[in-house]
Amino acid sequence: MRTVYLNGDYLPETEAKVSIFDRGFLMADGVYEVTSVLDGKLIDFAGHAVRLERSLSELDMRSPISMDDLLEVHRELVRLNEIEEGMVYLQITRGAPNDRDFAYPPAETEPTIVLFTQNKPGLANSPAALKGMKVISIPDARWGRRDIKTVQLLYPSMGKMMAKAAGCDDAWMVEDGAVTEGTSNNAYIVKGNTIITRQLSNDILHGITRAAVLRFAKEAQMKVEERAFTIAEAQEADEAFITSASTFVMPVVEIDGTALGDGTPGPVAARLREIYLEESRKTAV
């Protein structure tokens, strides 16, 4: 049984309980982070900690823990649960006042903090990376502050179900004719030596993996264009891929039924995946 962390305590997963009045439960009033683990170490923890602080501050929510202590909790859970490859999930909500109310509770209300691990042996050597993913496009029906990593994940869940019903692996969301991002990842296309991905704004999550991959791409003399692209442009591209903490770099081989190139993962995505895994293992903590 997993050991999880709840409000300062390490507990067996079946003993960790949160109030029915918790704002996360009633209002999706909470933020989260997912940090991957390779070789028993955390990938890009500093990036996730900085984004967490930003998400909290955008929502006027305070953190119940310092970022140094948060690193220690991550490490302790990885150790206690003997995670070699997998993820650590972290969630902070505005806490549990003693009733339901739209207004935020008094500032002294203790936020709720939960962390748990997910064991995923073989995450880095995933066979999916050799096969590639098929995606469909769907309208982006989320709210306007997608730069804040909130736990309001109903529409992304619906998107994954729509993809599944279509025999595909994920959905790319489209707004005003252009792709915003995948349901739980950032989206990219490749044309020749150029990698194209939507520019940062409130329309997408500022992926931690995205930042690292774009840095490595530039270091490897690839060209990076941060701009919006359409599904039609993506279907004409040489390659496509996604990035996230749980998939690293994952090739996309089909969009709305159209195969990209010869329908197999392309060399740029494969190379970036390799570089990303190699470089992030070096700086893991």
**Closest of 220, 55, 43, 21 to residue 120, by C-alpha:** 43
The verdict on 210 binding ligand PDD (CB under 6 A) reads yes
Applying CB under 6 A, which of residues 205, 214, 217, 260 lies at the interface with ligand PDD?
205
Instruction: Indicate which residue of 149, 164, 218, 223 is catalytic.
Output: 149
122 contacts 85 by C-beta, under 8 angstroms? yes
The verdict on 203 binding ligand PDD (CB under 6 A) reads no
Applying CB under 6 A, which of residues 208, 234, 255, 260 lies at the interface with ligand PDD?
208
Please identify, using beta-carbon distances, which residue of 42 and 205 lies nearer to ligand PDD: 205
Which residues, including other chains, have CB under 8 Å from residue 95's CB and lie 6 or more apart? 22, 23, 105, 109, 110, 111, 112
Work out how close the CB of 70 gets to ligand PDD at its nearest, in angstroms, rounded to a whole number.
Answer: 16
For 8, 85, 204, 283, the CA distances from 173, given in Å and listed in that order, are: 38, 29, 10, 32
The verdict on 160 binding ligand PDD (CB under 6 A) reads no
Query: From CA 153, how far away is CA 240, in angstroms rounded?
Result: 24
Applying CB under 6 A, which of residues 55, 117, 197, 209 lies at the interface with ligand PDD?
209
Work out how close the CB of 262 gets to ligand PDD at its nearest, in angstroms, rounded to a whole number.
Answer: 28
Applying CB under 6 A, which of residues 83, 123, 245, 255 lies at the interface with ligand PDD?
245
The verdict on 243 binding ligand PDD (CB under 6 A) reads yes
The verdict on 30 binding ligand PDD (CB under 6 A) reads no
Query: From CA 182, how far away is CA 198, in angstroms rounded?
Result: 11
**Closest of 35, 34, 53 to residue 280, by C-alpha:** 35
Work out how close the CB of 235 gets to ligand PDD at its nearest, in angstroms, rounded to a whole number.
Answer: 21
Catalytic status, residue 149: yes
Work out how close the CB of 138 gets to ligand PDD at its nearest, in angstroms, rounded to a whole number.
Answer: 13
| Residues 84-123 contacting ligand PDD, CB under 6 A | none
Side-chain-side CA neighbours of residue 258 (13 Å): 15
251 contacts 269 by C-beta, under 8 angstroms? yes
Work out how close the CB of 222 gets to ligand PDD at its nearest, in angstroms, rounded to a whole number.
Answer: 18
Give the number of residues in contact with ligand PDD, rule: CB under 6 A: 14
Query: With CB under 6 A as the contact rule, which of the stretches 4-12, 54-62, 201-209, 269-277 interacts with ligand PDD?
Result: 201-209
The verdict on 207 binding ligand PDD (CB under 6 A) reads yes
The verdict on 266 binding ligand PDD (CB under 6 A) reads no
The verdict on 74 binding ligand PDD (CB under 6 A) reads no
85 contacts 280 by C-beta, under 8 angstroms? no
The verdict on 34 binding ligand PDD (CB under 6 A) reads yes
Work out how close the CB of 84 gets to ligand PDD at its nearest, in angstroms, rounded to a whole number.
Answer: 19
The verdict on 280 binding ligand PDD (CB under 6 A) reads no
Instruction: State the residues that interact with ligand PDD by CB under 6 A.
Output: 34, 181, 184-186, 205, 207-210, 243-246
Just list the catalytic residues.
Answer: 149
